[in-house]
Chains A and B, each alone.
Chain A
Amino acid sequence: MATPIHVPRINNNDDEVKVLAFDVKPGERVSAGQIVGQVETDKAVLDVTAPVDGYVLGFVAQPDEIAQVGSVMLWLGASASEPIPEAGAPTPDSSTAGPSPVTGKAKLLLARYGVKSDAVTPIDGRITVEAVERYLATHGLAAAAPAPVVAVSRPAEPRPEVPGTAVALSREEKGMAATVVWHRDCAVPGYIEIDYDPAPWAEYARAFQEEKGLLMPPLLPLMAWRLVEVARTMPRINATFVEQQRYEYGAVNLGFTIQAGESLYLAVVREAEVLDAGGFVNALGDVLRRAASHQLRESEASGATIGFSSMERWKVTRHIPVLPPHTAFMLAHAAARNGRAVLGASYDHRVLNGGQVVAALKKLSSPT
């Protein structure tokens, strides 16, 4: 019966050694204690000796190979013609479970296009990117290699050459930066404005003030309320664009820009569509007061589905707002001049076309 000579351990803390050389040849007769080869770890070399008399049958490890301590290095036999025993079946490696039926990347593609995996014909038993792309192509859903929706690679920005001091952004400034980057990278923004007579709106707000006994005519809150009403009847202005689909929101969360000191907030009245005009004017007033004192609640500082921006306070007669993330319509209100004013809107062209925006603006230009 053949005798294995195992790779010896040199150092207690090394599981692998390098096989340096064999001093014997296959077929050679060796005696117990004879040196048959050398192994090495860092800086230490060890002779390997034959445990019994016999003939060298063959080598398993090879010179210069890194071998596991305890593995078979060479075989000795009682005769030179004895066969080398076959290696035992490899022990199953529990760490490598079979691959999943859908590749990870294919899974991402299926989710992006809203396709169920059982609709796709597997290739060689697996749903791969190629299999999904074939399905998409045959169903007219996309080109074979769609551009990534979100740019994930960002080249390192070169630093300015002129010396200066880097000032960390405040939370609000970071929010603004995120907004404009979304507007630039994600939306396909457009802008349209119409000319309108602001007098009926002013009269409507004055009457509302009188009826409710308010201190001031709530012109802007009422215009924002009108936007909520229009959004109820035109769901596509209260929407965004997700994975090649228009995503119409289930609620109207009205975002209203307010400058509080150095900070610009988009203060949000959530589920505005369930309120009435009076309730909305009160709710917006509450939110704006909290914004003015920098005490917006988390739910009031995020989640806008549609926006309203006015720069009347600064006597600005026209401005083009930036779209807040995941909105498709931001109304732009400005100061009147010579009895006329403009009402504009920034919009996401993936969701709305010009005609739809003009239709919405026309509704918004009068109080009823």
Chain B
Amino acid sequence: MMSDASPMAADSANGVPAPFLSDASGKPRIGTDPASLFAFATLIRDTEKLILDLFSRGLVSGTTHTCLGQELCQMAVVRALDHPDDHVLSNHRNHGHFLSYSGDFHGLVAEIMGRRDGVCGGYGGSQHLAYRHFHSNGVQAGMTGIGVGLAAALKARDSRGIVVTVIGDGTLGEGLLYESMNLASVWQVPVLFVVEHNGIAQTTYTRDTLGGDIVARGAAFGLDTWRVSDREAGFIDAAAAVVAQVRERRRPGMLVIDTGRLGPHSKGDDLRDPGERAALAAADPLAALAACLPADEVAAIRASCAAYLQAVERRALASPAANFDPLPEHSFRPAQAGQVEIPEVADGNVRAALNSALHGLLAAAPETLLIGEDLHDPYGGAFKVSAGLSTKFPGRVISTPISEAGITGAGIGLAMAGRRPIVEIMFADFLSLCLDQLYNHAVKFPGMFPEATVPLVVRAPCGGRRGYGPTHSQSPENLFVSVPGLTVLYPSHRHRVGQLLADAVLRWSNPTLFLEHKLLYGEKCDTADYEILPAGDDDLGAALFPTLRRGSAAPDVTLLAYGGMLPVAERAAKILETQEELAVEIVAPALLAPLPRQTLLQALLDRPRILVVEEAHHHFGVSAEILALLAESAYSGALARLGTLPVPIASARSLESAQLPDEAAIVAAVIDLL
């Protein structure tokens, strides 16, 4: 515990020791006596004032959000976390949480200034910080599902650690929060949702945006709830007691802390009237703490903080601008060695192959688990891919609430904690609900933070020709292939589809979308006369997820097709060969992103005519990228593409079949190409 008698820790790098002590993992040890609290809160406040000063001098990269007035609120819960497995997930207003967790003042200031010494090397700035088990990100409520996943991982390994997910009252408008609270309750995992209630979201008062009661929200989901104020005596102990109860009870809770923001949301956007601001300042908890201490002690603490922060500023200013060396071109981790051999199911179809792969994975790799809607027996998933698994692997096949974003977030959290979750989304159309989790979270952490890996696989049945209509028939790969850092696999019955899934789960530690066409489930797995194209040396994942080809070595036309379009392309090829006397080649990738560019160029560049066919709404999509690749590589033959027109897919079979490209459309497109 810090006391004014022995205030110094051994941070001599500045020449000025840090005025607090740290535990073995580097976390500051902040006492509950007024002097200790006042000293650390003053450090936080003065650090943020320094940041604002640096901002006004043009030395801050981007923007920043301060917690002026909320220092005790931000310290209270984090300081009480004393287990090495405890996690903190924060948000845009995170400096108090981060400093209370890490004690890395220099790292924070340098980070916000965009300097090399920054705690994330300049990648994260003010909002996106990672340090041991601390992560913050810039999307409201975006981390709440992830927190549930982390807590589920702690529960699974019987850790005493807990997860604290901090949001502001403005975030109470986000739907994902409620998915996460519900999931936490259903799974009974040790996660504490902390609502820092300062009554205002950026410039809009919470009273104008919030219906109903805040605490009742938590209670409605069956969470233990508490409400405290950082203006009240005993607040720090009350917050510590909440942490202790969550740790003890091993179930989720919600703590609402009433607090007051003295400064603006960001900078220059505090439009509150002066009277209101004066009232907030009068209730400033730091002033109340100072009033408990002798004036000379207050002065001594302030002087010690000022000296320390001057050293922090000097050192941050001396750090050079952050730079890349070399400039990263992607954020994919390489394929891992080792393999779970998935035996091929004799005469089995794609559904059986995937089911067998999941059996093999759950049996061989204890870190794997399945999460999704209606996966349990006897139903076994909407398309029966998970049939028999919940019976054989109880507790590792989890049927969830209908919360696509929430379970994707939970999958990310589990993956970050070392598990290998396989999330099933019942229809790929619903992946739109998961988009933020994939686009802003799953792919961001490995890209920003070198130590973070997210080995998450999201499986989803996709495609039409079933008469399921506009929101149950789509092929959304075109949306997801453009997400940097997301792997998109869309194999066919010609690939070793079970092995691909197993390798995606165990050997490819990158967030991955695994698409399965509904009509392929019943197709027999058969590699037939396809051969594997040699993978280009620079093509990430191309050897693990190979591209296939079959047909003439001197083709008149090459059809490039993947996923559910492959059987259609094969039927078209047969017509072209028999009725049109053409030599036809089919090239069938399974890996759509990162696109195996070199592999495809080696196979396609000297072909005279290429038609890329896909079932997706293809404008700006996979075919567009492949055609652009060929154009950029001075391809001199004839090119065309075929996909679904940019209109909703109709339900009536007769309408749908007129919309989706079929073999006749492929044949016609080839004839046009000649």
Contacts and interface: CB of A to CB of B under 8 A. Distances in A.
A100 interface: yes
A129 B583 CA distance: 12
Interface residues of A, number: 35
Contacts of B534: 156
A154 B674 contact: no
Contact of B664 (A95, A107, A178): A95
At the interface, is chain A mostly helix, strand, loop or mixed?
loop
A42 B348 CA distance: 10
A41 B579 CA distance: 35
Interface in B652-674: 657-658, 662-665, 668, 670-671, 674
A358 B63 CA distance: 75
A99 interface: yes
B349 A42 contact: yes
Given A97-B664, A103-B581, A105-B580, A148 B522 contact: no
At the interface, is chain B mostly helix, strand, loop or mixed?
loop
B17 interface: no
B466 interface: yes
B351 A108 contact: no
A106 interface: yes
Given A13-B383, A100-B580, A152 B664 contact: no
Interface stretch (B111-119, B202-210, B550-558): B550-558
A14 B608 CA distance: 40
B428 to A, nearest CB: 13
A128 B581 contact: yes
Contacts of A96: 663-664
Interface string A59-103: 000000000000000000000000000000000001111011001
Given A128-B581, A153-B553, A174-B634, A100 B382 contact: no
A51 B579 CA distance: 45
B581 A106 contact: yes
Contact of A12 (B382, B387, B557, B607): B382
Contact of A11 (B355, B384, B657, B658): B384
Interface string B322-351: 000000000000000000000000000101
B554 A104 contact: no
Contact of A42 (B352, B461, B657): B352
A128 B664 CA distance: 20
A150 interface: yes
B556 A108 contact: yes
Contacts of B382: 12-13
B525 interface: no
Nearest to B348: A42
A13 B518 contact: yes
A361 to B, nearest CB: 32
B582 interface: yes
A153 B554 contact: yes
A15 interface: yes
B388 interface: yes
Interface string A101-124: 001111110010000000000000
A109 B537 CA distance: 38
Contact of A95 (B461, B663, B671): B663
Interface in B145-188: none
Interface in B222-275: none
Contact of B466 (A15, A94, A104, A166): A15
B670 A14 contact: no
Interface string B537-569: 100000000000000011111000000000000
Contact of A43 (B384, B521, B576, B602): B384
A174 B576 CA distance: 34
A107 B607 contact: no
A174 B496 CA distance: 36
A281 B325 CA distance: 48
Contacts, number: 87
Contact of B387 (A15, A43, A100, A150): A43
Interface string A9-45: 0011111100000000000000000000000011110
Given A95-B664, A104-B670, A178-B634, A150 B384 contact: no
Interface in B334-389: 349, 351-352, 355, 380, 382-384, 387-388
Contacts of A108: 556, 582, 674
A41 B521 CA distance: 11
Interface in B452-501: 461, 466
B606 interface: yes
A32 B367 CA distance: 52
B427 to A, nearest CB: 10
Nearest to A153: B553
Nearest to B377: A43
Contacts of A178: 634
Nearest to B584: A104
B472 to A, nearest CB: 10
B671 A104 contact: yes
Contact of A152 (B521, B606, B665): B606
Contacts of A97: 664, 668
A91 to B, nearest CB: 10
Given A104-B581, A174-B634, A95 B556 contact: no
Contacts of B387: 42-43
Nearest to B387: A43
Contacts of B580: 99-100, 103-105
A42 B518 CA distance: 14
Contacts of B461: 13
Contact of B351 (A42, A107, A111, A153): A42
7 contacts: A12-B382, A13-B384, A15-B466, A43-B387, A100-B671, A153-B553, A156-B602
| A-B interface, 7 closest residue pairs, ranked by CB to CB distance from nearest | A104-B580, A105-B581, A153-B553, A95-B664, A104-B582, A103-B581, A103-B580
Interface of B: 349, 351-352, 355, 380, 382-384, 387-388, 461, 466, 518, 521-522, 534, 537, 553-557, 576, 579-583, 602, 606-608, 634, 657-658, 662-665, 668, 670-671, 674
Given A43-B384, A108-B674, A129-B581, 18 more contacts: A12-B382, A13-B382, A15-B522, A41-B384, A43-B380, A43-B388, A95-B662, A95-B664, A96-B663, A97-B664, A97-B668, A100-B671, A103-B581, A104-B674, A107-B674, A152-B607, A174-B634, A178-B634
